[in-house]
Structure 1
């Protein structure tokens, strides 16, 4: 838990500051714990380099401001975490960086049409938050690579255990490690993974602006990675059973889960993911008020905006995370008045289904 590192000689210090040799300088740059955590994720995602950050949003910001400049343009999928959308739409224009949104259901030609001569980056989530849209990564990379446009994917929902974007040609993968990588709701963290050339610019921005992960948080996350496969396997098994339960329930109008044939991108999900993930969304038949009433009856489940915990977490996006959007904007993003997002936990499945029986 130290903030600085001792130099052996003046020459040694100069070599470290000029990146002529590898080592530790200052906690704002890197420490042994963050290095171990990043190396593990580089191995899991098959990238040569990366950097740890304090939050997932810090990772996204480091990518955008480390690689883009005034006059650049990005293309992004409109099915995004609300704060990511806010960063792109409200803040990037202040630095002269413009953007174009493309629907999650867009064809390859629509993505192609959105790219301009100024486009430097395509940014997306798959599965997306909260409607679990799936984007075909091989299709995106086939379009972006000939145009010399970088592709960055938020892989937080899938984790390295379920999906490896680099396999399909993605240049940069990020995670909000706050979610399933930690898996127990204990700390905030993010990570950026890419090749050494891209990471030089991203690291330069991060080392200057200081979104530095603490050694203790890095230790927690490094330990969490040791159980990632076991946890994700159980999250997915429980989510599958929750999906099947909800599909048969009289109060439920529709259910969305990447590994169910009713999902509009089911075939793509089966191609690029190993399992369907720990998130399930569903719509109640009775509308907005029914969603609120259901939330107010929770006992076992926790009502929170977070996800990826060991316990089941549940939220009603229309009244919480996406309440600042108009109904028309929400509907355009596939977020209905009665949509419920469930981050299915590791509790015994009988307890989970008993709670659903009670609240529905």
Structure 2
């Protein structure tokens, strides 16, 4: 049996069967429709699953190629790309939930995912149990009901970097016949492969680390053939198709995924340890720190690092957080994550400014919390920039 490829070799060379040309880099098939050489082909393609050369809402060589790469990286039978991460998440809901079903999810979760769940709750009668302590498998087990159809996991969580035991939740799902879904956006398949730990579906915003250059909006679903085809059937109906140019850019980004993620993770580990020693910092949330509550579980299920997301809280609060971000020159203020550039946001005055206080408290968003997506810049430059931020925060008091 041949030795399996590593992630970078996979990202560069998997999926080549979808390139019908002699070009080393697959061209962009910027077309909505493909010529049918015979009438028979039209009937065959219309009845087939995700044909790459029929109609781009069904499939396209660029999307087929990048899906093959993503499936290999995730260790999945099949993958499906969508026009955004939220588009991918919504497809999973449409494919596997119906009105009146019960869902279990962490209380501290990405705001967009929560909004999707709340919409289903209000409009379709979805019943939801919110897990307060994602690390407590007993709480997950106690939440399960006869009508539970999905356990949704996010680890590390957004924005507080809480850890969930993926293998433990997967085992609960298997025991009760419940589908388990993990949002793998933060770690990417370089650090975590949820399917290898027993999770049924791995979903992610490919906008982030997978594409990695802040120039693509995309999502991905990876899992069994049957589950992913069920999601593709929803795509064919609802139409959140990734366009060929975006698929091409996503594939280009994947070719350097392992290099970028490892570099950013190394930066984050060093900066998290440095932040611990800063007197203006009340708390540092990073699963690579031994003091992090979920460190031992993270060390079991994450490989080659703990990701590039850091949360840290300033003692001085709201104004200090604003001034800290405004003073930075290398680190960019922005609400996303996972690009080659470092990004920072102050949720209390940015993404969650209009969020109710009780919701912010549940999500762990304090006035001084900063969410830091560490990029691949040189560490001394990042440290010097953060020092500028601390100086500005001190002057704001």
The bucket for the TM-score relative to the shorter chain is: over 0.9
Aligned residue for 1:13, secondary structure, equals helix
The equivalent residue for 1:190 is 219
- Which among 104, 128, 131 is matched to residue 157 of structure 2? 128
Greater shift, 318-327 or 308-317, is seen at: 318-327
Aligned residue for 1:50, secondary structure, equals strand
Aligned counterparts of 1:57 and 1:126: Cα–Cα separation in 2: 17
In structure 1, the gaps of 5 or more residues are: none
- Which among 315, 333, 346 is matched to residue 285 of structure 1? 315
- Which among 318, 338, 342 is matched to residue 368 of structure 2? 338
Aligned counterparts of 1:113 and 1:20: Cα–Cα separation in 2: 39
The equivalent residue for 2:394 is none
Is 1:41 the equivalent of 2:79?
no
CA contact (8 A) 1:183 1:310 kept: yes
- Which among 89, 96, 108 is matched to residue 137 of structure 2? 108
The equivalent residue for 1:51 is 80
CA contact (8 A) 1:235 1:345 kept: yes
CA contact (8 A) 1:104 1:134 kept: no
State the Cα distance separating 1:91 from its structure 2 match.
Answer: 3.7
- Which among 330, 351, 355 is matched to residue 325 of structure 1? 355
The equivalent residue for 1:67 is 96
- Which among 157, 160, 168 is matched to residue 197 of structure 2? 168
Spell out, residue by residue over 1:181-203, the C-alpha distance to the aligned partner (whole angstroms, 9 max, x if none). Answer: 11110110011111111122211
State the Cα distance separating 1:41 from its structure 2 match.
Answer: 0.7
CA contact (8 A) 2:52 2:64 kept: no
The equivalent residue for 1:151 is 180
1:167-316 pair list within 5 angstroms = 167-274=196-303, 275-316=305-346
Aligned residue for 1:318, secondary structure, equals helix
State the Cα distance separating 1:106 from its structure 2 match.
Answer: 4.9
CA contact (8 A) 1:68 1:120 kept: yes
Aligned counterparts of 1:186 and 1:211: Cα–Cα separation in 2: 18
Q: Which runs of 4+ in 1 moved over 6 A?
A: none
Spell out, residue by residue over 1:30-64, the C-alpha distance to the aligned partner (whole angstroms, 9 max, x if none). Answer: 10001111110100111111211010000000000
- Which among 95, 118, 132 is matched to residue 124 of structure 2? 95
Spell out, residue by residue over 1:148-171, the C-alpha distance to the aligned partner (whole angstroms, 9 max, x if none). Answer: 100001101101111000011000
Aligned counterparts of 1:128 and 1:269: Cα–Cα separation in 2: 12
CA RMSD for the aligned pairs?
A: 1.4
Aligned residue for 1:156, secondary structure, equals coil
Note closer, same or farther for the CA distance 1:345–1:20 as it changes in structure 2 (3 Å cut).
closer
TM-score using structure 1 length = 0.97
Aligned counterparts of 1:199 and 1:181: Cα–Cα separation in 2: 19
In structure 2, the gaps of 5 or more residues are: 1-29, 391-397
Is 1:85 the equivalent of 2:114?
yes
- Which among 28, 33, 56 is matched to residue 57 of structure 2? 28
TM-score using structure 2 length = 0.88
**Alignment size in residue pairs:** 360
Note closer, same or farther for the CA distance 1:24–1:96 as it changes in structure 2 (3 Å cut).
farther
State the Cα distance separating 1:20 from its structure 2 match.
Answer: 7.4
Is 1:354 the equivalent of 2:365?
no
Greater shift, 20-29 or 92-101, is seen at: 20-29
Spell out, residue by residue over 1:91-149, the C-alpha distance to the aligned partner (whole angstroms, 9 max, x if none). Answer: 44312322221124452221112111111111121111111111000110111111110
Aligned counterparts of 1:152 and 1:168: Cα–Cα separation in 2: 12
State the Cα distance separating 1:23 from its structure 2 match.
Answer: 4.5
CA contact (8 A) 1:159 1:180 kept: yes
Is 1:76 the equivalent of 2:105?
yes
Spell out, residue by residue over 1:194-250, the C-alpha distance to the aligned partner (whole angstroms, 9 max, x if none). Answer: 111112221111111110111111111111111111111110111111112111111
CA contact (8 A) 1:15 1:21 kept: no
State the Cα distance separating 1:8 from its structure 2 match.
Answer: 2.4
